[in-house]
Amino acid sequence: MLFPASLPAAASRAEKFDALVLDALEPIEARWRHELTKLDVAVDDVPEIDRRGEEPSPEAAEGVLHDGSVPLSRLVPAGVDSSGLPTRARIVLYRRPLEARAKDPLELADLVHDVLVEQVAGYLGLEPDVIEGE
C-alpha cells in the first residue's frame, strides 16, 4: 500500500530514525544547551570498517560498544581536517547496528537515548547520571 508523502507512514526507516534521534536529543539539549554549542550530532548507517587490519583510531575506540564488536556510536573530538580547517566535535550514531540491537520501536528509542546520554557524558567529562539529572 502506498501512502502520500505527507503522512508519517510514508517516512523511510532512515527518516524515522533521524526523528527518533532528535526526540532523544531534545531533553538533553534543553538541559545542557550552553555546554553543547560546539557539538554536532550525526547519523550514519554503519560504522566504517578498516579492512587493512590496522588498530582502530582513538576516536573509534570511544564508540559505545554494547556487544563488544560493532560500535553503536562514536564521539569524534574537535580537530582539524585535511585542508587545515577546524572541525567541530561530533557524536555519530550508527542506525543499522542500533536498529539490529533493538527488539521493537520502544526498545530502540530507549537505546538511542542511552547511547546519546553516554556520548554526551563523555564529551562533557561527566557521569551519565549527571546528564540525566538523577
Phi, psi of 25 (to 5 degrees): -80, -30
For each of the chain's 134 residues, which pLDDT tens digit applies? 555 556 556 578 899 999 999 999 999 999 999 999 999 999 999 998 655 544 455 544 455 555 457 899 999 999 999 999 999 999 999 999 999 999 999 999 999 999 999 999 999 999 999 998 76
State the pTM of this model: 0.80
Q: Which domains does the chain have, with CATH numbers?
A: 20-46+58-79+86-131 (3.30.2010.20)
Phi, psi of 69 (to 5 degrees): -135, -55
CA distance 31 to 125: 16
